[in-house]
Homo-oligomer: A and B are copies of this chain.
Amino acid sequence: MRQICGALHWLYTLRMLKPLTMTDERAIHPVILCGGSGTRLWPVSRKTCPKPFLPLVGETTLFEQAVGRVAGHARFAAPIIVAGAAHGELITAQMHGGKHRLIVEPSARNTAPAIALAAALLPPDDIMLVCPSDHHIADEAAFRSAALAAAALAADDYLVSFGIAPDRPETGYGYIRRGEPLAGGYALAQFVEKPDLARAKDYLASGEYSWNGGIFAFRAGALLAELSAHRPAMAEAVREAVAKGRKDGSRFHPDADVFAAIEGDSIDYAVMENTARAAMVPADMGWSDIGNWAALHEALESDSDGNTVRGAQADLSDCRNVLAMSDGPRISAVGLEDVVIVVSDGEVLVTTRDGAQKVGKLPGASNQ
How many residues of chain A are within 8 Å of chain B by beta carbon? 34
A248 contacts chain B at the CB level, 8 A cutoff: no
Q: A330 and B317: CB pair below 8 A?
A: no
Q: Which of chain B's residues has its CB closest to A43's CB?
A: B332
Q: B352 and A334: CB pair below 8 A?
A: yes
Shortest Cβ distance from residue A301 to the other chain B in the assembled complex, whole angstroms? 21
6 nearest CB pairs, A to B = A335-B355, A334-B355, A335-B352, A334-B351, A333-B350, A332-B362
What would 15 more interface pairs be, CB under 8 Å, given A326-B348, A334-B352, A348-B348? A315-B364, A317-B358, A317-B361, A330-B348, A330-B364, A332-B349, A332-B364, A332-B365, A334-B351, A334-B356, A334-B359, A335-B358, A339-B339, A341-B350, A350-B350
A363 contacts chain B at the CB level, 8 A cutoff: yes
A25 contacts chain B at the CB level, 8 A cutoff: no
List 13 A-B residue pairs with CB atoms under 8 Å apart, sorted by A's residue number: A315-B362, A317-B361, A326-B348, A328-B346, A329-B348, A332-B350, A333-B350, A334-B349, A334-B350, A334-B355, A334-B359, A336-B352, A336-B355
A363 to B43, CA, bound (A): 26
In A157-184, which residues have CB < 8 Å from any B CB?
none
Shortest Cβ distance from residue A317 to the other chain B in the assembled complex, whole angstroms? 6
Q: Which of chain B's residues has its CB closest to A354's CB?
A: B335
A330 to B359, CA, bound (A): 14
A343 contacts chain B at the CB level, 8 A cutoff: yes
Selected contact of A348 from candidates B317, B336, B341, B355, CB within 8 Å: B341
Selected contact of A346 from candidates B329, B347, B354, B364, CB within 8 Å: B329
A331 to B331, CA, bound (A): 13
Shortest Cβ distance from residue A132 to the other chain B in the assembled complex, whole angstroms? 25
A356 to B317, CA, bound (A): 11
Selected contact of A332 from candidates B348, B352, B354, CB within 8 Å: B348
Q: Knowing A315-B362, A358-B318, say if A351 contacts B336 (CB, 8 Å).
A: yes
Q: Knowing A315-B363, A355-B317, A358-B318, say if A336 contacts B335 (CB, 8 Å).
A: no
Q: Which of chain B's residues has its CB closest to A318's CB?
A: B355
Q: A333 and B349: CB pair below 8 A?
A: yes
A343 to B328, CA, bound (A): 13
Q: A347 and B333: CB pair below 8 A?
A: no
Cβ contacts under 8 Å, A330 to chain B? 346-348, 364
